[in-house]
Structure 1
Amino acid sequence: MSLNKKEAELIKLLSQHHDWLSAAFLAETLSTSTRTIRNYVTRINQLTEHEIICSSRQGYKINDAVQIDDILSLSKKEINTPKDRINYLVNLLIQHHTINYFEAAETLFVSIPTIEKDLLRLRKKMEKYRLKIIKNGQHLTMIGEEIDFRKLTSDLLQDEALRNFQSLDYVQTIFPDVPIETIQKIVVERLSNQHLYVNGYAINSLLLHIAIAIDRLLHHQRSDIEMTSELLSEDQLEYKIATDIGKDIHQALSIEMDLYEIHNLALLLMTKISPANETFLREYMDTSIYAFISQTMETVAEKYFITHISEELILNLALHVSNLISRAKRGKQVSNPLSEEIKQSYAFIYEVAIFIAKQIQKQINIPISDDEITFIALHIGSYFEEKFETENKLNCVIYTPEYYDMHKRLVYKISDIFKKSINITGAFYRLDEQSRLEMSNSDLVLSTIELKEFSNTVQLSPFLSGKDIDKVQKAINRLKQQKLVADLKESIGKYLTSERFERNVYLSSEYDYIDYLGSKLIESQHIESSFIELIKEREKMSATSFNNSVALPHAIEMSAKKTGISIILNDRPVQWGTHYVQVIIMIVMNQRDMKKFRQLFDFMIDTFSTSEKLEQLLLVQNYEAFIEKLFD
């Protein structure tokens, strides 16, 4: 078993520190979830007889007795081989046609002679595509016919699809028993045979669909719905590709994909291969279903502040919902063994899926099960996670004096490396009143000159070394954490008062707790009495208990008169759905505070799901001590 890119990054990060690092810190640094960090640690520790990463209540650290270099040799290489460097140069040349290879050498941390050796190999490789590399001073230019550029691009994209670690990582984490890498190779090869390419998100979506299908088949959940070929011809390209993929999976995994699964895969392929298929798909699944999902996703975008919902996501989800409605009407809802794990690990995504399920439920007047809600969460998960990642970017100002083109290269490199973490709101080459004002209002200042007047400054070298990159990343993590804690302190201090903090209240059921906590919020003029029914309605769709520790009853609607929180801490666990909890937190939200809901929701679940933190908080006896310990 080899390490994937993220696992290698985790080991490197831990090896750079001698102290314990929390799962939250590691998740933030590697742009993933704490759950995924735990999965990485489990996989890494299976590589050798000895434990590689030690774990404790303090977090994780590297076992000093382990030879890290030997472990990292198992990882897929970064840009440190001639092949990797050549691919990097080719990508630059395709994008820009002319590049400065001195700058490329600096970015790759290699010498000019090394790049020139790579250039000889690159020229030989381009002969296959009848493309030429012309060197003029410090610049390289690629020339040739457009058709040859396209052939080169197509080949590179196929290679990229096979190396799309993020997609593999996301789907494999959800379906640990399904060999995702094998399926990926089958799909990419079958598409390549037809000279077709789909992007990383589309590959992820295809893999997810096939993984769900295989998981169902492994659990003997074959559909009894007869598929006809009246609309979808067996001569159609997508149907042929789907049939070939099904045969390959049967041969590789001894799992037979029946006609129902082949038919659905063909429809899904139509959403990936050509936009011309969209009209056919809309007609196939009933215009009303497509229009309904399109309208629902517009509401989701508005409600959860998603800037754009792709047409591809709407089509994929509409196809899934079309089948879901068919199953529900026939009383044939499927089982999903991962429901509980998805609900606990991706709580907010699951919450968005519940909102979508509620709209479907209203439309067909048939209850939607937890298992079906989970499948909706899987379909929207990777798309929404990527959108949420860009939510909390820091505003950054760069100050570097002009010196030839070095200042421009520095700004470009910073924007490229940290594009997911920062918005560069200004780049200044001299200090004046305007630049000082911008710096004082910015979250982060990056400067090649010492600036003592701004506390949020990170000083860099003009060449942006590896150490500089590490410094900036640490500063980003620290500032994000400080910003998050400050926002949470402000929100919880505003929404939770001492009157709504209670200890040891024991009632008969979760609905009694909802009535009890809701009555407190009615008294304080946060909600109308009718709002309690909305909370109960949400609870009936799927229990709001998490990780045998905390319950978070709330409504899907954000129609409270004002946002508020009520909380009960119990010494003895009480049953809530299938879990036993000791913390009950009711959150009622006004729509104008919706952006804070995800922040509060995730924070409460993460905090009270940590056993050490839970034990500490259960010892406090009053509101003041609770607030202090919560942010300790």
Structure 2
Amino acid sequence: MIQFPYPRLNQLFDALRGETLPQEELARRFDVSTRTVRTDINALNEILLHYGAQFVHQRGSGYRLDITDESRFAALEQQQDMRSNTLPRTARDRVVHLLLRFLAQDEACKLDDIADGWFVSRASLQSDMAEVREIAAKYGLTIESKPHHGMRLFGSENAVRACLANMLFQFQSGDDFLPELHALALPGVDLLQLREQLHAVIQQHQIRMTDEGEQHLMIYCGIIVQRIRAGHLLGEFSASDVEPALKLAAAQMIEILQRQTGCEIPQAELDYLSVQIAARRMTDGANLQPGGQDENRALVDYILGFINDRYNYDLREDEQLRSDLLSHIATMMTRAKYQINMPNPLLEHIKQHYPLAYDVTLAAVSSWEKDVPYTITDNEIGYLVLHIGVGLERHYDIGYERHPQALLVCDSGISTVRLLEAKIKREFPQLMVRQVDSLREYEKLEQIEEDFVISTVKVAEKNKPVVLVAPFPTSFQLEQLAKQVLIDRTRPYMMDKFFDETHFCIIDKPITQAELFNRLCRQLEQEGYIGGDFHPSLVEREGIVSTMLGEGIALPHSLGLLAKKTVVYTVLAPQGIAWGPGETAYVIFLLAISMQDYEEAMTIYDLFVTFMRERAVSRLLASKDFEQFRSVAKDCLSRS
């Protein structure tokens, strides 16, 4: 059986045998340079030469597969499709496998035995174990080692289940890796049958859940079965505040699980399952309990009021936003109370693509948390950001004509739908999204009335073309959309408005973050741009969470719009400045935004997101003066 020399070649081969892709898109997908892509293609072609195929480059479209000998290539494809996935190949795969092994089995594990079975060195596994212990520690779990016996995991049953569930939640339902992980973590559990049975109960009790929510509930129920079979039960647990209808559904699900375990399941398990259902359902103001409704509306009022008072963005009368926030917060508060983590695979993208919305939401939630016993996780804040970001764009970036019509298919929940709608409308303002269907609803349609379909998952093409996009579309995917809606926009002119030579410097010597803040704020205060309250607020904001945007770009700013006049102070630091645990900033944009210029703030953030997308840090750092910096920056913006 053929094995490519390193894992990325397998991934590259799989990507290109299905479609033609330009090298820029391949570089983004695999997080490498275009030069590395060309090197990989050459390596693949040397191998494929013996199997009657080559990847050839077509100007304007990218690399495509050219097959000259169908029979020899068919043999290669068969070998690739049959290649074994049982051995973890990368460090990330090994970490996942190791942690799931500790979580799913009671007996001790010896690294020497695992290393021999995986054909890796013991030193590699010891290095992986550092990350395994770090992840386990987040759940209050420890891994202890005894000489001649091996290592075992210790911790509460709640913590074991939470860690096990979150490790499996991070993989999408279509991930090739997932069946293998299910077999490792949930041996003997028929998840497909379980999902159908759970879906029937959900429909019977008219509980609204996304496909992703059902997937998570199925995994948790599978964990219940596996843990009870292994003799592990939850301790005492009560959920008196869960609605009776949800407890009835949980009781029916417990009956299903009892048939799989062959034993009676105690009340604590039923109560905790009812909380899991409550934490993952979709809800709205119509089906909230009165007590919770008041608390949730108070939080919505607080967030929108804080954003208006501190940032001058008035979203308080946006009823759509209020409804969306209330729907999310209703289940978010359940998760916060019972410390249930809902993974957010888009979190890093949200921080990078919605930096303004992330900042105002983080500031509002951080202020609210000072007076309540709950802790809102970064994942939850990320979902709130999607709603706030959509509200900001709805009110502060409008006025375009919309002509083409599209059907949007998205099965990841209302926040992702709102995000994708906003992103598409922002990129293609003349586009009207006529209808939003889940995958299940789309499959029932006989024909599509809209001009084309935009989908976040692979769907069968009906009578209209389908454009496949991610929740945060890549540049290549946006190009495919552009072919349908025929639009192109750029904003390089914004550089002239927000940047100037007086507020630009190159620091090519060691300096701390605190020293940098003192130096820049002292100059800006002397020039009348800020007052004495700006610097303390800048430090406080950085203390909440790092202002690193990504790709070595940092955006320090105050909590709220405290500047007297708006200015962006640009700092290039070739040696880098420590910017938090394990982070280094090389290009720093200190933002001082006044209340009078708040409408421009969203555009300012867009510029920095563009620099990050273009991976422009190395080019910006090569600038010798402000004119060179502006030239590079405008070039990046003109190509975005």
Alignment TM-score, normalising by the size of structure 1 = 0.51
**AA in 2 matched with 1:228:** S
Q: Deviations over 1:20-76 (max 9, x none)?
A: 44579x99xxxxxx99xx9xx9xxx9xx998999999x99943534799999xx9xx
Among candidates 587, 594, 597, match of residue 590 of structure 1: 594
2:632 counterpart SS class: helix
Q: Distance in 2 between matches of 1:516 and 1:213?
A: 56
In structure 1, the partner of 2:136 is none
**AA in 1 matched with 2:238:** T
Q: 1:579-618 counterparts in 2 under 5 A?
A: 579-591=583-595, 593-608=597-612, 611=615, 613-618=616-621
Structure 1 range deviating more: 539-548 or 599-608: 599-608
1:317 counterpart SS class: helix
Give, in angstroms, the shift of residue 565 of structure 1.
Answer: 0.6
Q: Cα distance 1:355–1:525, how it changes in 2: closer, same or farther (>3 A)?
A: same
In structure 2, the partner of 1:536 is 539
Give, in angstroms, the shift of residue 623 of structure 1.
Answer: 0.8
Q: Distance in 1 between matches of 2:355 and 2:223?
A: 20
Q: 1:378-457 counterparts in 2 under 5 A?
A: 378-380=382-384, 383=387, 395-396=400-401, 414-416=404-406, 421=425
1:538 counterpart SS class: helix
Q: Distance in 2 between matches of 1:522 and 1:217?
A: 63
Q: How many residues align?
A: 439
In structure 1, the partner of 2:126 is none
2:575 counterpart SS class: strand
Q: Cα distance 1:216–1:183, how it changes in 2: closer, same or farther (>3 A)?
A: closer
Q: Distance in 2 between matches of 1:372 and 1:474?
A: 38
**AA in 1 matched with 2:594:** N
In structure 1, the partner of 2:348 is 343
Q: Distance in 2 between matches of 1:424 and 1:212?
A: 43
Q: Cα distance 1:174–1:569, how it changes in 2: closer, same or farther (>3 A)?
A: farther
Are positions 1:317 and 2:329 aligned together?
A: yes
Q: Cα distance 1:229–1:22, how it changes in 2: closer, same or farther (>3 A)?
A: closer
Structure 1 range deviating more: 343-352 or 206-215: 206-215
Are positions 1:502 and 2:505 aligned together?
A: yes
Q: Cα distance 1:473–1:349, how it changes in 2: closer, same or farther (>3 A)?
A: closer
Are positions 1:362 and 2:362 aligned together?
A: no
2:577 counterpart SS class: strand
Q: Distance in 1 between matches of 2:221 and 2:304?
A: 24
The answer (yes or no) to whether the contact 1:347–1:602 under 8 Å persists in 2 is no
1:587 counterpart SS class: strand
Q: Cα distance 1:507–1:224, how it changes in 2: closer, same or farther (>3 A)?
A: farther
**AA in 1 matched with 2:326:** I
Alignment TM-score, normalising by the size of structure 2 = 0.51
The answer (yes or no) to whether the contact 1:500–1:520 under 8 Å persists in 2 is no
Q: Distance in 2 between matches of 1:242 and 1:597?
A: 47
The answer (yes or no) to whether the contact 1:534–1:556 under 8 Å persists in 2 is yes
**AA in 1 matched with 2:381:** A
In structure 2, the partner of 1:267 is 278
Among candidates 249, 259, 263, match of residue 241 of structure 1: 249
Q: Deviations over 1:575-616 (max 9, x none)?
A: 1102022111111223454454344335424524755x3222
2:529 counterpart SS class: coil
2:321 counterpart SS class: coil
**AA in 2 matched with 1:267:** A
In structure 2, the partner of 1:228 is 238
Among candidates 622, 626, 629, match of residue 625 of structure 2: 622
The answer (yes or no) to whether the contact 2:361–2:384 under 8 Å persists in 1 is no
1:343 counterpart SS class: helix
Q: Cα distance 1:464–1:288, how it changes in 2: closer, same or farther (>3 A)?
A: closer
**AA in 1 matched with 2:352:** A
Q: Deviations over 1:116-141 (max 9, x none)?
A: xxxxxxxxxxxxxxxxxxxxxxxxxx
Q: 1:8-47 counterparts in 2 under 5 A?
A: 15=20, 20-22=23-25
1:577 counterpart SS class: coil
Q: Deviations over 1:186-223 (max 9, x none)?
A: 567534444456668x55566578889999999xxx99
Q: Distance in 1 between matches of 2:373 and 2:539?
A: 16
Q: Deviations over 1:314-333 (max 9, x none)?
A: 24324424653x57xxxxx8
Among candidates 287, 291, 294, match of residue 294 of structure 2: 287
The answer (yes or no) to whether the contact 1:271–1:277 under 8 Å persists in 2 is no
Q: Cα distance 1:589–1:389, how it changes in 2: closer, same or farther (>3 A)?
A: closer
Q: Distance in 2 between matches of 1:216 and 1:518?
A: 55
Among candidates 352, 355, 374, match of residue 378 of structure 2: 374
In structure 2, the partner of 1:525 is 528
**AA in 2 matched with 1:536:** V
Give, in angstroms, the shift of residue 183 of structure 1.
Answer: 7.8
In structure 2, the partner of 1:474 is 482
Give, in angstroms, the shift of residue 624 of structure 1.
Answer: 1.0
Q: Cα distance 1:351–1:205, how it changes in 2: closer, same or farther (>3 A)?
A: farther
**AA in 2 matched with 1:317:** I
Q: Cα distance 1:320–1:269, how it changes in 2: closer, same or farther (>3 A)?
A: closer
The answer (yes or no) to whether the contact 2:562–2:593 under 8 Å persists in 1 is yes
Among candidates 557, 561, 570, match of residue 560 of structure 2: 557
Q: What residue ranges of structure 1 are gaps of 5+ in the alignment?
A: 1-6, 28-33, 75-167, 328-332, 399-413, 427-445, 447-462
Q: Distance in 2 between matches of 1:241 and 1:323?
A: 18
Q: What residue ranges of structure 2 are gaps of 5+ in the alignment?
A: 1-11, 81-168, 183-189, 227-231, 409-420, 433-450, 452-462, 468-477, 636-640
Give, in angstroms, the shift of residue 563 of structure 1.
Answer: 2.3
**AA in 2 matched with 1:497:** D
The answer (yes or no) to whether the contact 1:496–1:565 under 8 Å persists in 2 is yes
The answer (yes or no) to whether the contact 2:593–2:601 under 8 Å persists in 1 is yes
Q: Cα distance 1:205–1:309, how it changes in 2: closer, same or farther (>3 A)?
A: farther
In structure 2, the partner of 1:631 is 634
Are positions 1:277 and 2:281 aligned together?
A: no
Q: Cα distance 1:528–1:195, how it changes in 2: closer, same or farther (>3 A)?
A: same
Q: Distance in 2 between matches of 1:355 and 1:66?
A: 53
The answer (yes or no) to whether the contact 1:551–1:581 under 8 Å persists in 2 is yes
In structure 2, the partner of 1:303 is 313
Give, in angstroms, the shift of residue 499 of structure 1.
Answer: 0.8
**AA in 2 matched with 1:264:** V
Q: Deviations over 1:473-530 (max 9, x none)?
A: 43678744xx3x32xx333321111011111254543222222222333233332221
Q: Cα distance 1:600–1:260, how it changes in 2: closer, same or farther (>3 A)?
A: farther
The answer (yes or no) to whether the contact 2:431–2:485 under 8 Å persists in 1 is no
